[in-house]
Amino acid sequence: MGLPGEDGQGRATGAARGTAPLGPAPLGNGSLGIVAGSGAFPAAVAEAAAADGREVVMLLIQGFADPALERWPHRWFRLGSLGSVTAWARARGVREVVMVGALTRPRLRDLGFDFTMLRLLPRIARLFRGGDNHLLSGVLGLVAEQGFTLVGAHEVAPRLLLPQGVLGAHAPSAAQQADIARGLDVIRALGPFDVGQGVIVVDGLVAAVEAAEGTDQMLARYGEMRRSGRLRFAAGNGVLVKAPKPGQDRRVDLPSLGPQTVTRAAEVGLAGIAFEAGGAIVPDAQALVEAADVAGLFVAGIGGGGT
């Protein structure tokens, strides 16, 4: 499960972390609140927003957000204390909120509910009966009801979106383009079931589909199938395809890529990575392309049905 951000495990921050002492901020200053999970994306979005002249306030999720994000005005909170942290954010002049970073799906009993969230417990329980997009979109609805305008990372920091075309020194072959097209078809077909944003296709075979485990674990599973002989593909075949699910709320869980995705794709013997142009974000596009060039993989943005 992820907010827009990189796949992987959240970094534990410790429940004892509290709020840094901060003076009052004037109301109406148009601050941007960033609800931060794990990974590099919260910092990348914050830096992009600050470069555009936005005031940034970090709402750091305990057990996930990187303590380095404390360099911005911030408050740590548990996922179930949404009422308390949103009241604090309003007092600091936050009017827009973006959710960024990776999360693992929590258990209800681990959320640490405050009074506001306890009153909503039956509704929250219903949100957990479904896929990640259903859950995260529902959480966004709860945030909106606290008086905020909800925005996506792609709206706050459009420079992080990956463009159409081949990004590095290597391009997909005609056969690999056919695999990419099949992968996009699979994602579109599974979208109504709120299932994953990633698929691995090799020589027309759908070898792995991303479910609750996330992209990293899907790649690991594919690698294990090759090592065990369950799949007998030579290295340098197959593509990882990433795209938003049809109907997905793009303010949450937008596909993301980073250099580590390239490294893992190379380790399991894939030929390259394709993504929907304008439908995936990356904290450092140059680092992504450099990693792909070194690994001999292609990275390509697909739009309008072609490379």
Q: pLDDT tens digits, residue range 223-277?
A: 999 999 999 999 999 999 999 988 777 877 688 888 999 999 999 999 999 999 9
Q: For residue 26, what are the contacts with CB-CB under 8 A and spacing of at least 6?
A: 93
pTM: 0.75
**pLDDT band of 82, cuts 50, 70, 90:** confident
Strand residue runs (E) in 147-226: 149-150, 165-166, 198-202, 205-209
23 CA to centre of own chain: 32
Give me the domains of the chain, ranges plus CATH numbers.
Answer: 31-158 (3.40.50.20), 161-302 (3.40.140.80)
pLDDT, position 19:
33
pLDDT, position 13:
30
**pLDDT band of 9, cuts 50, 70, 90:** very low
Closest CA to 243 of 171, 159, 297, 187: 187
pLDDT, position 298:
98
Q: pLDDT tens digits, residue range 275-290?
A: 999 999 898 999 999 9
Secondary element (H or E) of residue 59 = strand 56-61
